[in-house]
Chains A and B, each alone.
Chain A
């Protein structure tokens, strides 16, 4: 069972470069999320998609865009990377039906030089 798959796992960018983090889930969940985690800051919500076709801003959306391509896939794009976007990014999908449990990907470690 794959669960939530994120790519790439590691990436180094130069300031001003762009990139897209890909996320796919195979659990048929409606809701998907992108969080970033910085030391001592916990998980901060960037964007989320409650259902296919909808996206909403979270706590720290500036500098990011998202696309909910279909029910399975939710991508996060950095159009012009900045050193402040150096972080670990987690994609997650949510099963509201039983518990409301978030299932996380393994994380993507991004460094912007």
Chain B
């Protein structure tokens, strides 16, 4: 089982809709969870991070974490065409100076005007 799994895409939503991106992870010891956005031909950029169970909101973005279910999600409200990108879930694995970030395969989101 891959350490980080994302829901298969691609995902297509109309402008103004809510886009929901999901991710599961296998390491119960993981404490830090990240969502990166990657535009085509560009480097990934961090858009959200979450450490505690529950919801974390930042503008139109909400990250949700459920450690018991080993599940993290990203909701994008009022989706815009500029949100069209690949979204990568990343999870911190390891400890004691050997921490590393493991990424899922990514979900490609297209927001249609």
Mutual binders A and B:
yes
Q: Are A33 and B100 in contact (CB under 8 A)?
A: yes
Q: Are B46 and A101 in contact (CB under 8 A)?
A: yes
Q: Are B99 and A31 in contact (CB under 8 A)?
A: yes
Q: Give the number of residues in B that approach A within 8 Å (Cβ atoms).
A: 22
Q: Are A100 and B43 in contact (CB under 8 A)?
A: no
B51, closest chain A residue (CB):
A100
Contact residues of B: prevailing secondary structure: strand
Q: Are B97 and A105 in contact (CB under 8 A)?
A: no
Name A42's contact: one of B43, B97, B100, B104 (CB within 8 Å): B104
Query: Does residue A51 face the partner (Cβ distance < 8 Å to B)?
Result: yes
Q: Are B102 and A45 in contact (CB under 8 A)?
A: yes
A96 to B6, CA, bound (A): 24
Q: Are A33 and B98 in contact (CB under 8 A)?
A: no
Q: Are A58 and B100 in contact (CB under 8 A)?
A: yes
A13 to B104, CA, bound (A): 29
CB distance from A99 to the nearest CB of B (A): 6
Q: Are B100 and A102 in contact (CB under 8 A)?
A: no
On chain B, the residues within 8 Å of A43 by CB distance are 44, 88, 90, 103
Q: Are B46 and A45 in contact (CB under 8 A)?
A: no
Query: Does residue B32 face the partner (Cβ distance < 8 Å to A)?
Result: yes
Query: Does residue B34 face the partner (Cβ distance < 8 Å to A)?
Result: yes
Interface residues of B (CB under 8 A from A): 6, 32, 34, 36, 43-46, 49, 88, 90, 92, 97-106
